[in-house]
Structure 1
Amino acid sequence: MRHGLITATAFLALFVSVPALGGVKEGVVKWQASDYKGAVVEWMPFAAKGDPDALFNMGQAYKLGRGVPLDKAKAEDFYRRAADKGHAPAQSNLGILLAQRGEKARAAELWQNAAAKRDARAQYMLGVLHFNGDTLPKNWPLAYAYMTQANNAGLPQAGRALATMTASLSPADRAAGSEMAAAMTAGDKLASSGKPVLAPAPRKLANTVALDKPQAAPPKPAQLATVPGRSVVANADIPQPRAAAPAPNTASGGEWRIQLGAFSQEARAREAWTTLRREYPAIVSGLEPAYAASGAMVRLQAGRFANPGDANAVCQRLRDSGRPCFAVHTN
């Protein structure tokens, strides 16, 4: 039986003895207005009932010492309780705390769980581990795939790391990594839906906030459902991939193209090219598209470049806009 006032918000209606204007999301509003103590007051009863978002937000508060005393042990406890409920950002943050004290194997397990739920920070960390061969086996195509996913989700560190990888990996490794990223994003639904994997939209997580970077001004209400990982982890919390010597270019003859995505149907690839020409005319206008079959996939490629430098220059402009792209050599 429910007690107390029932608000119009469906989420709050699930709980009892909660004021009409109170709730996890209302705590987010107060936090972003710098009312940290008020935010914590909103979250505490929900955390006590085991709400994963509230547990995660309490972990963030204790990690930063806002609204409550700074206490890393309590932060870890809240993260762990949320992580046990499958909360991907909590799994990611808990993994970082464990890795900082040397428990890298356990951290990697948590990041693998969170990455499967498309958490950008976890994808970033797995990319770093596989690139460096740290804790997990060195696997550059897989590292490139994870980092591409994190970059597509908007994680700033991922863009810088992806540039390091692009300079280090061979075209074949980058091509393999891009196809892995496409397969990860599309999952088992790709073959049946035919949806493009050019630039997947990141999954949004309601009622959690990115708390590690102070806000200059409260964001608009529409921004309260934040993209996980945009600013939750400070740069100092996560390692950068070590730069490796560029792989020698053994290709001779032929030409270079830029690869823009992989699709289950050529019609979808053609639709994606039309969209790219409309959204990025200054970058791709004048380039000739090509649709290269590869097993059950169709790769969208474009352009004719005499060398990889010219192709990568175009790709970099697209990557800066959040679009995956890499240079490929054709015979």
Structure 2
Amino acid sequence: MRDIVTTVGDSLAGKTALENATMRHGLITATAFLALFVSVPALGGVKEGVVKWQASDYKGAVVEWMPFAAKGDPDALFNMGQAYKLGRGVPLDKAKAEDFYRRAADKGHAPAQSNLGILLAQRGEKAQAAELWQKAAAKRDARAQYMLGVLHFNGDTLPKNWPLAFAYMTQANSAGLPQAGRALATMTASLSPADRAAGSEMAAAMTAGDKLASSGKPLLAPAPRKLTNTIAVEKPQAAAPKPAQSTAAPAAISPRPSAAPGRTVVTNTDIPQPRAAAPAPSAASGGEWRIQLGAFSQEARAREAWTTLRREYPAIVSGLEPTYASGGAMIRLQAGRFANAGDANAVCQRLRDTGRPCFAVHTN
């Protein structure tokens, strides 16, 4: 099947596109999509800087952020990185921008991890970029989830894994990232029903995973949190930009979108779309079947989840052996062994009837 998108390397070759995308994945405002970013409680000066930035008082914003950045506040560090990246309120300095991104990323700031990943990928450091995107995706960063979905789908830098790619893209799409919806449509048309079903189950397991360990019950994704200590950046323009009133739709990957009324939309052509997949291979002979029960950010939480399942559903999981498989930034809780897919699916169905996420996986 023909390639419908470029690879990561091809996409990152365009310097201007990368710079625009880095600007577009900008300082955060309180919107439905960006509200999923995990952030520390806002400090007064950081919020005041946001207000000044939205009023086009860039120098005033930088003055507010600088002392908090000096104290290591991750939002202030990230915002300073954006200021140096755009040359607003300070001289344009990409080296300083990267330094601020890295310092915020080291503190677990998901948008900073995503932005730093873009800069590293531009330099060809795609393995390091993937690690950062994995960390950000574990914090529900939709842009990072999208990138991991692309990498796993294409087998670029990360192992080709179509169900996992579908899961990451499903999460990014649920967060409201428009290009994720288009990529998900491509995957849906390309993958087998079994791969799509496994990916959907995996996405549900990722969402419920960390909640399962502490509560013993699968929960819906948390309600969006309103953030006020970071802001969105429009493309630099002669006139002072207006404060963002709603989520600025991330630009289509290909072709470039037209500008929305009253705003300049910056394209994200550095972000690749998945290539159309070859026909799904049949299951390999040999190996064994297991059931996957969740995906967790820490192995300890996976072990707690297994303890909960054994306590609450001994009639279903008794006799099964748990395994804790590492998959990027996530630990996959699996249990087995089963002689065939039918036996594994039968146990999964009993667990799904209780509201637990579960799907069968074949291992070699």
Task: Normalising by structure 1, report the TM-score.
Answer: 0.62
Distance 2:152 2:39 in 1: 48
Q: Is the 8 A contact 1:64 1:70 kept in 2?
A: yes
- Deviation at residue 82 of structure 1 after TM alignment: 0.5
Q: Which one has more relative contact order, counting CA pairs under 8 Å at least 6 apart?
A: 2
* Number of corresponding residues: 330
Give the direction of change, closer, same or farther, for the CA distance of 1:127–1:300 in structure 2 (3 Å limit).
Answer: closer
Q: Secondary structure at the match of 2:295?
A: strand
Mean CA deviation greater in 249-258 or 124-133:
249-258
Mean CA deviation greater in 205-214 or 249-258:
249-258
Q: Do structure 1's residue 80 and structure 2's residue 108 form an aligned pair?
A: no
CA RMSD between the two structures: 11.8
Mean CA deviation greater in 257-266 or 30-39:
257-266
- Deviation at residue 309 of structure 1 after TM alignment: 27
Give the direction of change, closer, same or farther, for the CA distance of 1:42–1:198 in structure 2 (3 Å limit).
Answer: same
1:224-239 pair list within 5 angstroms: 234-239=267-272
Q: Is the 8 A contact 2:232 2:244 kept in 1?
A: no
Give the direction of change, closer, same or farther, for the CA distance of 1:19–1:171 in structure 2 (3 Å limit).
Answer: closer
Q: Is the 8 A contact 2:207 2:221 kept in 1?
A: no
1:9-31 superposed Cα distances (whole Å, 9 cap, x missing partner): 99999999999996101111111
Unaligned runs of 5+ in 2: 1-22, 246-257
Mean CA deviation greater in 320-329 or 283-292:
283-292
Distance 1:216 1:311 in 2: 61
- Residue number in structure 2 paired with 1:191: 213
Mean CA deviation greater in 106-115 or 283-292:
283-292
Give the direction of change, closer, same or farther, for the CA distance of 1:201–1:269 in structure 2 (3 Å limit).
Answer: farther
Mean CA deviation greater in 102-111 or 234-243:
234-243
Give the direction of change, closer, same or farther, for the CA distance of 1:70–1:261 in structure 2 (3 Å limit).
Answer: same
Q: Is the 8 A contact 1:210 1:228 kept in 2?
A: no
Distance 1:258 1:15 in 2: 31
Q: Which runs of 4 or more aligned residues in structure 1 lie more than 3 Å from their structure 2 counterparts after TM superposition?
A: 1-22, 190-206, 212-223, 225-234, 245-331
- Deviation at residue 38 of structure 1 after TM alignment: 1.6
Q: Percent identity?
A: 93
- Deviation at residue 243 of structure 1 after TM alignment: 2.5
Give the direction of change, closer, same or farther, for the CA distance of 1:109–1:312 in structure 2 (3 Å limit).
Answer: same
Q: Secondary structure at the match of 2:269?
A: helix
Give the direction of change, closer, same or farther, for the CA distance of 1:204–1:317 in structure 2 (3 Å limit).
Answer: farther
- Deviation at residue 147 of structure 1 after TM alignment: 0.8
- Deviation at residue 98 of structure 1 after TM alignment: 0.2
1:85-100 pair list within 5 angstroms: 85-100=107-122
Q: Is the 8 A contact 2:134 2:144 kept in 1?
A: yes
Give the direction of change, closer, same or farther, for the CA distance of 1:317–1:230 in structure 2 (3 Å limit).
Answer: farther
Q: Is the 8 A contact 2:212 2:305 kept in 1?
A: no
Distance 1:16 1:89 in 2: 9
1:154-194 superposed Cα distances (whole Å, 9 cap, x missing partner): 12221111111111111111110011111111114237757
Mean CA deviation greater in 314-323 or 236-245:
314-323
